Amino acid sequence: MTLKSLIFELDAEEANALSDACFDAGALSVSADDPLVGTPDEVPMYGEPGMKDAAWPNTDDPATWPRLRLTILLDEATDAAAFMADAAHAAGLAAVPAFRIEAVPDDDWVRKTQAQFQPIRISERLWIVPSWHEQPDSNAINIELDPGVAFGTGSHPTTQLCLQWLERRVQGGESVLDYGCGSGILAIAAARLGAGRVVGVDIDPAAVAAARDNAGRNHVAAEFLDVATTLSIEADMLVANILSNPLKMLAPALSRHVRPGGIMALSGVLAAQAEEVMDIYRAWFEFEPPRELEGWVCLSGQRKA
């Protein structure tokens, strides 16, 4: 299929309305980014390493940039002017925004996408291997993974920190709860490392489905559940690679799912956020010093008796 993209800028409120209208009108994809990206005026959206303040920068509207650059992907045969006129009308815009058209080179997008994901060495005995690659070390534990739509490819520092924590802590037979399982990578790693009962939970049904597929690919018997499912497990080990704010909100619930004397690893936390997160969990846990990688930390603690 030959493709083309329409590119233009709008204020955030109009851009959000037009994005939905473009999908309804048959756009293949719609992406939005900061039109000032790469300039001194770029607006950071997340609490990333190196930022002075980890809070959202736009306190009036913390969900978006004030102005957006939209890129609409269309089949090359689509009449761009008619498409934009219909979408603008459906979105309630007073006028059709000025746009430019760029040709999208015909390419093997599957191959190009797969090329972004290479085998990742986590440790001496643990590798994460995309499903289309050969195993780089047949003597290691090779976790075969299809990145798919769910978070957790092994490339992010928080995922690597959690995998390293599991490798150090799983001795064999432990029950493990992976809260916010994404692709299932941590739960699958725990099972491959010798854990007993392994349960993964996620709010996203697509992630639960992807995790189940990845578990089957690795021949492990991990359970993957929607977060709405009532959890009865009191685990020996809990790992939650989410973000600091959800971790803080979930502290009582997550703590209830770790048995007295059990252990927990929390990640998705910036180094600057570590003390604030640990302060909340100290009602239930004793913590070790955090382990840090590229500005992110893994917080490891033991449940008080």
DSSP β-ladder status, 141-145 and 3-11: unpaired
How is residue 155 written in tokens?
Answer: 């490339």
> Rg (Cα) of the chain, in Å, rounded?
22
pLDDT at position 295 is 94
pLDDT at position 63 is 46
Residue in 175, 192, 173, 184 with CA at minimum distance from that of residue 263: 175
pLDDT at position 48 is 40
pLDDT digits (tens, 9 = 90+) for 222-251: 999 998 888 889 999 999 999 999 999 999
Q: pTM for the complete prediction? A: 0.67
Which of the residues in the chain have pLDDT under 50? 46-63
Q: Which one-letter amino acid corresponds to residue 130?
A: P
pLDDT digits (tens, 9 = 90+) for 164-215: 999 999 999 999 999 999 999 999 999 999 999 999 999 989 899 999 999 9
Q: Residue 289: helix, strand or coil by DSSP?
A: coil
CB 187 within 8 A of CB 199: yes
pLDDT at position 111 is 57
Residue in 233, 230, 169, 161 with CA at minimum distance from that of residue 197: 233
How is residue 59 written in tokens?
Answer: 């306190």
Residue in 27, 32, 31, 18 with CA at minimum distance from that of residue 87: 18
Q: Which domains does the chain have, with CATH numbers?
A: 3-106 (3.30.70), 157-303 (3.40.50.150)
